């Protein structure tokens, strides 16, 4: 993971900036603004979750030697795994919101275009 981590982190950061920029650009289009803003907020929340939950676990576990793993290691592992699972859920919902935005806000948006 050491070789993928920095690249994935940069890509995720740039994707979040792109969605924030898109949110700003569509702010006048009511039917697409809300799902785009929700997507941006969820992506930002996923970043915060990484730095508050996952990264402290990464740092703590990286400091352990294989000969001296502490008894409470499972709580750190669980924190790491649940943090990643929560982030995956947030990013999935953010993607779905972005797809809804790209489709013009769903049925209501298409009905207004007719």
The CA distance from 37 to 31, in Å, is 11
Tokens, residue 107: 């049925």
Helix (H/G/I), strand (E/B), else coil: 1? coil
Tokens, residue 76: 């750190």
Cβ 81 vs Cβ 47: under 8 Å: no
- Torsion (CA) 101, 103, 105, 108 in degrees, nearest 10: 180
- The pLDDT tens digits along the chain (114 residues) read 566 667 788 889 999 999 999 999 999 998 999 999 999 999 999 999 999 999 999 999 999 998 889 999 999 999 999 999 999 999 999 999 999 999 986 555 555 554
């Amino acid at each position: 993971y050491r070789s993928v981590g920095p690249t994935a982190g940069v890509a995720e950061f740039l994707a979040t900036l792109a969605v924030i920029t898109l949110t700003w650009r569509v702010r006048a289009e009511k039917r697409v603004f809300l799902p785009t803003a929700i997507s941006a907020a969820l992506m930002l929340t996923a970043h915060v979750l990484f730095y508050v939950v996952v990264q402290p676990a990464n740092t703590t576990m990286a400091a352990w030697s294989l000969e001296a793993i502490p008894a409470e290691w499972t709580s750190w592992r669980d924190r790491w795994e649940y943090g990643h699972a929560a982030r995956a859920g947030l990013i999935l919902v953010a993607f779905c919101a972005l797809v809804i935005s790209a489709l013009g806000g769903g049925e209501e948006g298409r009905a207004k275009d007719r």
